[in-house]
Homo-oligomer: A and B are copies of this chain.
Amino acid sequence: MKTQLALGVDIGGTNTVFGLCDRDGNIKFETSISTNDYTNPADLISTVHSKIKETGLLETIAGIGIGAPNGNYYTGTIDFAPNLSWKGIIPLAGMFKAKFEKPTLLTNDANAAAIGEMIYGCATDLTHFVMITLGTGLGSGVVINKKLIYGDDGFAGEYGHIRVIPNGRECGCGRKGCLETYASSTGVVRSISELASENKFHSILKQDDATSARDVFVAAEQGDLFANEIVNYTANILGNALADFTCFSSPQSFVLFGGIAQNGDQFGEKVKAIMDTNMLKVYENKVDVRISSLHDKNAAILGASSLVWNDLV
């Protein structure tokens, strides 16, 4: 009997990546297509199906896991995703299930990342943890007793939209001061223009569209004082937020993933130091900050596929 494989599909605003992997996270096949090429999700599913069929591994698929923006686990739908051209409510899990005749689960990308860390990554030993994905926005997935929590409507765990600065930065959600306006790639770049500092005038950082969060971290490493201030400012806001968020679920660890965290353990260490200093006494020295171990692998496919091993098989 052939090894069972999971099909992991990550729907992104730009690309859809998908692949086949086994229970240990070994990827047997992976590829990527442009999401925007498909105005109809049924056509995208047909393309995924043909490409998987070509591998000759279709019969070995135990199930399908999908990570998608605004993905609702309970309904298997993508609900009003602002970054996709598919409007309204798309019953994507049902459509995949019908085409492949395989059980299919769907959730949002941060939740998929959390399960990915639990199945293949740095959280296999954890019972209670919170995944924090630092990308264009800040996503989160909350694991309690080894189970992801979805809440009443499937949308629990939106830590990026907890407001940390009253009347702070304007957020895409229409509110002000949300954590993700500070602690995300976008937030780091915004700090170039929005953070007041005398060092700004001597900085190599430019206030233009070409400057990335990575540029800020590289400049900080090279001794740019203003860049360093931005890194510390970001770590300070995130560390303080994590200290407070510990009051929700009292996790063993926060797991950081994405561009900002990837700039090395140093950022994670700064976040942890600030979290520790601002922690409620009862939680002191109990909460770890880990950096995802899936950075150098195809985390998106692994995260999506992990739904299969966690909830289906």
State in angstroms the CA–CA spacing of A283 and B158 once bound together. Answer: 10
User: Shortest Cβ distance from A148 into chain B, in angstroms?
Assistant: 11
Q: Tell whether, in the assembled complex, residue B251 and residue A151 are in contact, meaning their CB atoms are under 8 Å apart.
A: yes
Chain B residues contacting A158 (CB-CB under 8 Å) are 247, 250, 280, 282
State in angstroms the CA–CA spacing of A240 and B280 once bound together. Answer: 21
**Stretch among A91-99, A159-167, A212-220 lining the B interface:** A159-167
In the complex, which of the residues A142, A159, A248, A280 has the most CB atoms of chain B within 10 Å of its own CB atom?
A248
Chain B residues contacting A280 (CB-CB under 8 Å) are 158, 161, 173, 175
Identical chains bound together, number: 2
| B-contacting residues, A231-261, CB 8 Å | 240, 244-245, 247-252
| B-contacting residues, A73-89, CB 8 Å | 79
Tell whether A153 is near chain B: CB-to-CB under 8 Å. Answer: yes
A162-B244 contact in complex given A144-B151, A283-B153, C-beta closer than 8 Å: yes
Q: Which residue of B lies closest to A127 (CB)?
A: B152
State in angstroms the CA–CA spacing of A149 and B145 once bound together. Answer: 9
Chain B residues contacting A248 (CB-CB under 8 Å) are 142, 156-157, 159, 162, 245, 248-249
Q: Which residue of B lies closest to A279 (CB)?
A: B175
In the complex, which of the residues A70, A159, A247 has the most CB atoms of chain B within 10 Å of its own CB atom?
A247
Q: Tell whether, in the assembled complex, residue B153 and residue A250 are in contact, meaning their CB atoms are under 8 Å apart.
A: yes
Chain B residues contacting A156 (CB-CB under 8 Å) are 248-250
Q: How large is the interface on A (under 10, 10 to 19, 20 to 34, 35 or more residues)?
A: 35 or more
A153-B247 contact in complex given A173-B280, A173-B281, A280-B175, C-beta closer than 8 Å: no
- Taking a contact as CB atoms closer than 8 A, the residue among B163, B247, B252, B286 that contacts A159 in the complex is B247
User: Shortest Cβ distance from A247 into chain B, in angstroms?
Assistant: 4
| B-contacting residues, A167-193, CB 8 Å | 173-175
| B-contacting residues, A54-112, CB 8 Å | 70, 79
Q: Tell whether, in the assembled complex, residue A166 and residue B165 are in contact, meaning their CB atoms are under 8 Å apart.
A: yes
Chain B residues contacting A164 (CB-CB under 8 Å) are 166
16 A-B pairs with C-beta separation under 8 A: A79-B282, A142-B249, A149-B249, A152-B252, A152-B286, A154-B250, A156-B250, A157-B247, A158-B250, A159-B247, A161-B247, A161-B280, A162-B245, A163-B240, A173-B281, A174-B281
Instruction: Give the 5 A-B CB pairs with smallest separation, nearest first.
Output: A151-B250, A156-B250, A158-B247, A128-B152, A162-B244
